[in-house]
Amino acid sequence: MADELPVIAKCFDLAKEMNERTRKFPRDLRFVLGDRILATTYDVFDALLEAKYSSTKRPMLDRANLLLERLRFQVRLCMLLPGCPETDGRIHKRDRASEYFSYGMAD
C-alpha cells in the first residue's frame, strides 16, 4: 500500500482494525453494532476508492465524510456500552481505535 494515496491506505488499515475488533464483540453487539460498524467502514473505503477514479470527486468525498461521521458515532457508542471488549464501557486514552476517532471525544 506504499504507492497508494495516504487516505486510502489509512482507511485500509482502519478496515483491518475494525475487522479484528468486531470479531471480539459479544454476540449481541457483534451482530447488530459490529455489522453496522463494518458496513460503514467498507462504505467509507468504497467512497474513497470511487473518488480516486472519478472526475467529479466532491460528491463522493462529501459522502465519505458523512459516512465517517456516522462511523465515529457508532464507535463512540460501542466504547460506552458495557460488554464491549477492551473498553468494557470505558474510553481508553491511548487506544489504537480511538486514534482514528479522537475528534470530539473527551480525554
pLDDT tens by residue, 46-66: 999 999 999 999 999 999 999
The predicted structure's pLDDT at residue 27: 87
Confidence label for 105 from pLDDT (cuts 50, 70 and 90): very low
Backbone angles phi, psi at 2, to 5 degrees: -65, -30
CA 54 to CA 102: how far, in whole Å?
29
Predicted model pTM: 0.77
CA 53 to CA 4: how far, in whole Å?
13
The predicted structure's pLDDT at residue 99: 56
